[in-house]
């Protein structure tokens, strides 16, 4: 069964790990809702549906035609994400009455893990970095790409509706965009009086367009080139789940491992690590709108 990080944190008795997960989840709209599938081994091979089976009407005595779906076999490999957080023993002993240095330093490391994941979630490309995983920009099929125009153009609600309609069998569960695109969408939505806001499970205010929550990712660039324009951004429509887009993780998920005292220096080390990847089970659950200008 797939679990989000927030749900997984409730199953842990490790106070340090719970704190790390809470830090990571709170900072990332994607990690608040992205479900993770635990896999044994270093990767997952799965079949991605290409075409659906067909049916038709028949008369009595007709020969029946056989039709089966077609699939493409895909493999997603777990990657190692993490870093070490060292706490100087002298500082911990002399300043512990001011603040918990270990908690603070591990929290900063957790934020770095979250930021690296959010970056790779969008921009990951194994042809550029073999140690990372492919992100949604690369996973998105050509047939699921909507364009603002040959040289890009200013965002319109019509084009955003076209992007949403690319997600089949239900609406997307998130529109992921840059802050600049969010500001433009906010202005358009207010003008049309269709702007919605509500609180999520973490008490944060979330904006909605057509019932779909809007997520902001700071690693979606606003300087992509489309045609003759070099000031373009991208908006992604995503549906999450085991039949759509899901994260992959090793058993145990995200870990905060106490390495202990170091030999080379007077410090104690905690390692935040995560064996993680992404799997897109259906191309119909991910789409992008390119050429979004300011």
51 pLDDT more than 80: no
Tell me the average pLDDT of the chain. 91
Quote the pTM value: 0.91
98 pLDDT more than 60: no
For the domain with range 141-238+284-293, which CATH number is right: 1.10.3720.10, 3.30.1930.10, 3.20.20.30, 3.30.56.10?
3.30.1930.10
Query: What is the separation of C-alpha 126 from the centre of its chain, rounded to a whole number of angstroms?
Result: 16
Mean pLDDT calculated for residue range 208-218:
94
Mean pLDDT calculated for residue range 32-39:
95
50 pLDDT more than 80: no
Sequence ranges of the chain with CATH classification 3.30.1930.10: 141-238+284-293
Contact 145, 288 (CB under 8 A): yes
Q: Smallest Cα–Cα separation from 286: which of 24, 13, 30, 18?
A: 30
pLDDT grade, residue 109 (50/70/90)? very high
Sequence ranges of the chain with CATH classification 3.30.2400.30: 5-50+71-134+243-280
Q: What is the pLDDT of residue 95?
A: 73
pLDDT in tens, 221-258: 999 999 999 999 999 999 999 989 999 999 988 998 88
Strands (DSSP E) along the chain, which ranges? Answer: 36-38, 43-51, 70-77, 79-88, 145-147, 153-154, 174-177, 196-199, 205-209, 212-216, 224-226, 229-238, 245-249, 255-261, 267-280, 286-293
CATH 1.20.1340.10 fits 5-50+71-134+243-280, yes or no: no
């Amino acid at each position: 069964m797939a679990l989000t990080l927030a749900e997984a944190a409730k199953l842990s008795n490790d106070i340090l790990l719970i704190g790390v997960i809470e830090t990571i989840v709170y900072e990332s709209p994607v990690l608040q809702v992205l479900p993770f599938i635990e896999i044994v081994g270093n990767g997952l091979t799965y079949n991605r549906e290409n075409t659906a089976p067909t049916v038709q009407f028949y008369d009595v005595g007709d020969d029946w035609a056989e039709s089966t779906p077609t699939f493409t076999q895909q493999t997603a490999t777990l990657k190692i994400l993490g870093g070490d957080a060292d706490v100087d023993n002298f500082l911990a002993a002399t300043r512990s009455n001011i603040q918990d240095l270990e908690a603070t330093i591990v929290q900063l490391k957790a934020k770095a893990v979250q930021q690296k994941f959010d970056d790779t979630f969008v921009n990951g490309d194994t042809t550029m970095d073999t140690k990372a995983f492919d992100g949604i920009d690369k996973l998105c099929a050509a047939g699921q790409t909507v364009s603002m125009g040959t040289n890009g153009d200013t965002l319109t609600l019509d084009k955003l509706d076209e992007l949403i309609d690319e997600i089949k069998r239900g609406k997307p569960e998130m529109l992921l965009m840059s802050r600049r695109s969010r500001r433009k969408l906010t202005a358009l939505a207010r003008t049309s009086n269709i702007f919605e806001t509500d609180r999520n499970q973490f008490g944060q205010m979330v904006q909605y367009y057509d019932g779909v929550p809007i997520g902001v990712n700071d690693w979606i660039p606003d300087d992509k080139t489309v045609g003759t324009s070099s000031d373009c951004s991208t908006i992604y429509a995503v549906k999450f789940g085991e039949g759509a887009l899901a994260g992959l993780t090793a058993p145990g998920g995200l870990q905060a491992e106490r390495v202990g005292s170091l030999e080379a220096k007077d410090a104690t080390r905690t390692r935040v690590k995560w064996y993680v990847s992404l799997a897109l089970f259906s191309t119909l659950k991910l789409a992008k709108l390119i050429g979004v200008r300011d």
